[in-house]
């Protein structure tokens, strides 16, 4: 396969515009179109659907795209090993992460990264729901739950300590739970599709779960920021990560509930990437940057 044709395909897939992709690579529109057609003929598949109005990936194109990215990454790695290639790290990095975590801890430091690496562009997919890393064609993902996917490699940033919390106003109106079974009579705010989490105590022998068995949550939400704001407004008791609520705990707008109990699910904050992917320079420098800026000790413990 022609490496220049593959590079054109990846660029066109990112831009969804063959002519614009060709211009970015210094090709006239007719040359770009012909080069892409040669690649498709060689592969025996149409990678892009073309119309007078738009360009879109075909099913075969979607399946081929992650492999095409890896081929380009392998070429870059091979040239770098021989001392060739550009000294400047370049390219578009596709990063999937929790929207809540990014808003609090990554977006504020992005200008530092972009100034340090002017050749890198970032494409962010932000959602507190789990994103399919491999199928989505992402270079890197941030995940804040136990890393169980054996097809991924992870770099741990920090432990993800989770606690129960509520606003002082809610506790004044509804009372403060003193024992785990007291949660049965309270308004609970629960993250969507989350399994009950085990609560354990270093000073107590008993255990419980959040939410307790048979208790219907008052609010179910799929966004960490909204969960935190609902608890701050007095809507109920929620489980949240320290990295999400540390400022609220410090200023007293949220207080811990059942403070002798912690969520024991082994959660941590990971930077994960597919085992099959070559760790490209753009991914490596972004991982190093996030570890430098956020981890050991975590930034939320420094404030």
Q: What is the CATH number of the domain that holds 26?
A: 1.10.10.10
- Same domain flag for 253 and 185: yes
Q: Examine the domain organization and report whether 236 and 288 are in the same domain.
A: no
**CA 225, CA 243: separation in Å to the nearest integer?**
11
pLDDT digits (tens, 9 = 90+) for 214-262: 888 999 998 999 999 999 999 999 999 999 999 999 999 999 999 988 8
Query: Where a domain ends, among 81, 109, 133?
Result: 81
Same domain, 272 and 259: no
> What integer pLDDT is reported at residue 9 of this predicted model?
92
Is 32 inside a domain boundary?
A: yes
Sign of CA dihedral 114, 119, 125, 128: negative
The last residue of a domain, from among 49, 81, 113: 81
Q: In what order do the strands lie in the sheet with 197-201?
A: 208-210, 197-201, 261-263
> Residue 175 falls within a domain, yes or no?
yes
* Banded model confidence at residue 150, pLDDT cuts 50, 70, 90: low
Looking at the structure, tell me whether residues 115 and 259 fall in a common domain.
Answer: no
Q: Is residue 86 part of a domain?
A: no
Residue at token pair 């040359």: 31
By the 10 Å C-beta count (0-12 exposed, 13-18 middle, 19+ buried), 144 is classed as: buried
CA atoms within 13 A on the CB side of 66: 18
User: d(Cα 21, Cα 121) in Å, to the nearest integer?
Assistant: 15
CB 279 within 8 A of CB 155: no
Statement to judge: residues 155 and 291 lie in one domain: yes
HSE-CB for 12 with a 13 A CA cutoff: 30
- Map residue 155 onto helix, strand or coil: strand
Print the domain residue range for 43. 3-81
- 3-state DSSP assignment of residue 237: strand
Q: Is 66 part of any domain?
A: yes
Residue holding tokens 């022609």?
2
60 and 130 part of one domain: no
pLDDT score for 148: 60
Q: What is the CATH number of the domain that holds 247?
A: 3.40.190.290
Domain match, 71 and 113 both: no
Q: What is the pLDDT of residue 80?
A: 61
Question: Helix (H, G, I), strand (E, B), or coil: what is residue 72?
Answer: helix
- Considering the domain architecture, whether residues 237 and 185 belong to the same structural domain is answered as yes
Token representation of residue 161: 């300590």
55 falls within a domain: yes
Tell me the per-residue pLDDT of 21-43, one tens digit each, with 9 for 90 and over.
Answer: 988 888 888 999 999 999 999 99
> What three-state secondary structure class fits 49?
strand
CATH number at residue 294: 3.40.190.10
For tokens 């509520």, the residue is 166
Query: What are the φ and ψ backbone dihedral angles of 92, each rounded to 5 degrees?
Result: -100, 125
Per the domain annotation, does 191 fall within a domain? yes
User: How far apart are alpha carbons 162 and 144 in whole angstroms?
Assistant: 11
Q: Which residues pair with 152 in a beta bridge?
A: 274
Residues 174, 235, single domain; the answer is yes
What is the rounded average pLDDT of the residues 96-112?
93
Indicate whether 83 pLDDT > 60. no
Same domain for 134 and 220? no
Residue 297 pLDDT level (bands cut at 50, 70, 90): confident
State whether residue 249 is helix, strand or coil: helix
Q: What is the pLDDT of residue 95?
A: 92
Residues 224 and 240 in one domain: yes
- pTM higher than 0.85 for the full model? no
Q: Do both 37 and 179 map to the same domain?
A: no
Q: pLDDT value at position 100?
A: 92
pLDDT (mean) for 273-298? 82
Q: What is the mean pLDDT of residues 53-80?
A: 82
The number of folded domains in the chain is 3
Asked which of 17, 47, 81 is the last residue of a domain, the reply is: 81
CA–CA distance, 215 with 223 (Å, rounded to integer): 21
Across the chain, what does the average pLDDT equal?
A: 86
- Does 28 reside within a domain? yes
């Amino acid at each position: 396969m022609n490496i220049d044709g593959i590079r054109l395909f990846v660029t066109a897939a990112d831009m969804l515009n063959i002519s614009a992709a060709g211009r970015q690579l210094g090709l006239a529109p007719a040359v770009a179109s012909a080069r892409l057609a040669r690649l498709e003929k060689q592969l025996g598949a149409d990678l892009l659907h073309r119309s007078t109005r738009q360009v879109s990936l075909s099913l075969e194109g979607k399946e081929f795209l992650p492999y095409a990215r890896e081929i380009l990454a392998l070429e870059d790695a091979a040239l770098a090993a021989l001392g060739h290639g550009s000294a400047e790290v370049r390219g578009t990095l596709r990063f999937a992460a929790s929207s809540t975590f990014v808003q609090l801890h990554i977006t504020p430091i992005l200008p530092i990264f972009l100034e340090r690496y002017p050749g890198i562009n970032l494409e962010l997919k932000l959602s507190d729901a789990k994103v399919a890393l491999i199928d989505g064609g992402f270079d890197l993902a941030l995940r804040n739950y136990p890393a169980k996917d054996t097809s991924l490699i992870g770099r741990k940033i920090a432990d993800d300590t989770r606690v129960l919390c509520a606003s002082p106003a809610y506790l004044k109106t509804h009372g403060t739970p003193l024992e785990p079974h007291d949660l049965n009579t309270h308004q609970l705010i629960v993250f969507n599709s989350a399994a009950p989490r085990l609560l354990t105590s270093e000073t107590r022998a008993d255990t419980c779960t959040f939410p307790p068995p048979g208790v219907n949550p008052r609010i179910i939400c799929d966004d960490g920021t909204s969960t935190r704001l609902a608890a701050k407004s007095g809507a109920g008791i929620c489980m949240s990560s320290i990295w999400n609520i540390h400022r609220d705990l410090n200023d007293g707008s949220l207080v811990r509930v059942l403070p002798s109990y912690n969520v024991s699910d082994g959660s941590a904050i990971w930077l994960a990437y597919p085992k099959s992917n070559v760790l490209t320079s753009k991914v490596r420098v972004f991982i190093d940057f996030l570890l430098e800026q956020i981890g050991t000790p975590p930034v939320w413990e420094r404030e």
